[in-house]
Structure 1
């Protein structure tokens, strides 16, 4: 799977024309979202940065996620993705924050399933949280690429909704 350059450029144009910025907090995609945003023309005008927080300790220390939300082995949930989206937007002072956490391959912690939760924060509010489930035999790198591209497609849809509301309102 290869990232669609046109999708990235379209996202970049939407953000630039709205004068908005984005930051990313990712776990399961291991930096691939940050890489993807860096591929947008003039990315430094819209992409302010991101963090890859792969384990519980870093999610607690770096992202300052509440310890009551990360108990035992529970590192993956819609709530965690939402908190990541809100925190990264706050850390980088951006309009948009994206959080994603999940599993790129089956494990005992995922009940031997492959899935990820992702969330978008816009101007301090959660506007979308979804789970994406893949076949458990999906290769890890393909899962990471698929999560990234699916998330970017959803981001484009949300950008279109906001733009439409702005023009209608």
Structure 2
């Protein structure tokens, strides 16, 4: 995996002494890995959780089971709840949640997309959908989602702190 180290280092500088944690599904730890590459990551990156199944999202992140079942765990509401829970569980200033599809399946109408949300001080500040074409499958889709989320995170940090 080729990381955009410049984006990661800018995130580290923009965070200064602020902290971030993640709750991931479709990216399966990609964001955790990427954020761990920040210089002196222990200052900014508190950690993350990968909750891949409905049961783990409900049990570990307190996601509403009815909402999870109704949306196949893929909705803006689910990611917003994941972002808030990541922030809460790790006592972090920012929380990032992401869930979606890395391969086209019937539940996604054979499309590739993910929802992500970013919270700051326990308030959702970004909630968006990323759509990919089918040239990104599996690990490539996971990486692309992670990259897109980090670019969005950098943009938010720049607006907040520059």
* SS of residue in 2 equivalent to 1:100: strand
**Unaligned residue ranges in structure 2 (runs of 5+):** none
User: Is the radius of gyration larger for structure 1 or structure 2?
Assistant: 1
- 1:69 matches 2:67: yes
Deviation at 1:139, TM superposition (A): 2.2
Partner of 1:13: 13
Please report the RMSD computed on the Cα atoms of aligned residues, expressed in angstroms: 1.2
Moved over 3 A (4+): none
Number of equivalent positions: 162
Tell me how far apart the structure 1 counterparts of residues 51 and 109 of structure 2 sit (CA, whole Å).
22
TM-score (norm 1): 0.92
**SS of the residue aligned with 2:28?**
coil
Query: What is the aligned partner in structure 1 of residue 46 from structure 2?
Result: 48
Deviation per CA, 1:66-101: give whole Å up to 9, x if none: 223212462100110100000110010110000000
- The normalised TM-score by structure 2 is 0.96
Of 52-61 and 138-147, deviating more is 138-147
1:24 corresponding residue in structure 2: 22
Give the distance between the partners of 1:13 and 1:73, measured in 2 at CA: 37
Note if contact 1:112-1:136 (Cα within 8 Å) is conserved in structure 2: no
| Displacement of 1:132 | 0.6
> What's the counterpart of residue 92 of structure 2?
94
* Higher deviation after alignment, 65-74 or 110-119: 65-74
Instruction: State how far apart, in whole Å, the 2-side matches of 1:51 and 1:24 are.
Output: 6
Work out the CA distance in 2 between the residues paired with 1:39 and 1:137. Answer: 27
Q: Which residue of 2 aligns with 1:167?
A: none
Gaps of 5+ in 1: 165-169
Q: Is 1:135 aligned to residue 133 of structure 2?
A: yes
Aligned partner of 1:149 among 147, 150, 156: 147
SS in 2 for 1:8: helix
